[in-house]
Amino acid sequence: MVKRRLAGSSLQLSPAYRRWPKHVDAHALERIGGFDIIWTDDLAEHLAFDDDLLTVSLYHHVATPTLTLHSEHLSAELLNETLSSLALLLPCRSQTANWFKRSAKVALQHGHVIDESAPELPKCSLGYNLKDYTHWGYRLSVIVEAYDKTQPKGALQLWYDRRSKVEWFTFWVAVLVLLLTITFGLIQSVTGILQVYVAYHPHR
């Protein structure tokens, strides 16, 4: 049944999105892309992307016995791909690990227990070339494309969004110049007011 539901995952990849960017992980999808990560117990829902809600579903049962149980005894190739795809999205980085702990805590508050070994996977064996992902490649490419097309909303996302370092630097330099201009303008205004006050009240 799961195999049938994965039939759409083998669609042709977009030429522009055949590699997974190394800087993109689940944390970046949420913090920069504004996506919501949904933890799922259904392997067929793994990497499913909802364009309207901006949600990405991640299958989190990575412990080998658990994965085998939940996978309905699927092929070793699919299981390896699943682990590799999770390693892409949950790499061994301190920021990602901290984000995962917070996400798992929130999920637990809603009665959903997340596999704590998910962010402890070794480096993905299939690498970053999405053509090597027979089952999950298309879904991964859809996520990358959607992420690439997102625009930051709010100052916090603007600060973290460094996909284009030149644009990021130019924007924040412009913001700094604007703030300095406003600050010096206020200082000059206050100074001018004080000078006028002193001129009309010389003995005070």
Q: Is the pTM of this model over 0.85?
A: no
Residue-wise pLDDT for 28-76, tens only, equals 999 888 899 999 988 889 999 999 999 999 998 877 545 555 555 677 7
Query: Residue 147's closest CA among 59, 56, 81?
Result: 56
Angstrom distance (rounded) from CA 122 to CA 57: 21
* Six-digit token string for 49: 């992307």
Residue-wise pLDDT for 76-106, tens only, equals 788 888 889 999 999 888 888 899 999 999 9
If you average pLDDT over residues 10-39, what whole number do you get? 85
